[in-house]
Amino acid sequence: PHGAALWDRLKALRDSGLTRKIGVSVFASDDPLGVARRFRPDIVQAPASLLDQRLINDGTLAAIAGLGMEVHLRSIFLNGLILLPPDRAPSHLREAAARISRARRMIAEGRSDPLQASLGFALSRPEATAVLVGVASAAELNAVVAAAASPPPDLDWDDMAIDDPDALDPGSWAAA
Q: Per-residue pLDDT for 175 more than 70?
A: no
pLDDT score, position 91: 72
Give the pLDDT band (50/70/90) at residue 166.
confident
Q: What domains, with CATH codes, occur in the chain?
A: 3-169 (3.20.20.100)
Q: Dump pLDDT digits (tens) for 132-165.
A: 999 999 999 999 999 999 999 999 999 999 988 7
Cα distances (Å, whole numbers) of residue 13 to 9, 16, 47, 85:
6, 5, 26, 45
Give the pLDDT band (50/70/90) at residue 176.
very low
Give the pLDDT band (50/70/90) at residue 93.
confident
Q: Dump pLDDT digits (tens) for 42-92.
A: 999 999 999 999 999 999 999 999 999 999 999 999 888 888 876 777 777
The arithmetic mean of pLDDT across residues 28-32, rounded, is 93
The arithmetic mean of pLDDT across residues 28-55, rounded, is 95
20 with 14: CB under 8 angstroms?
yes
Pairing of strands 43-47, 23-25: parallel
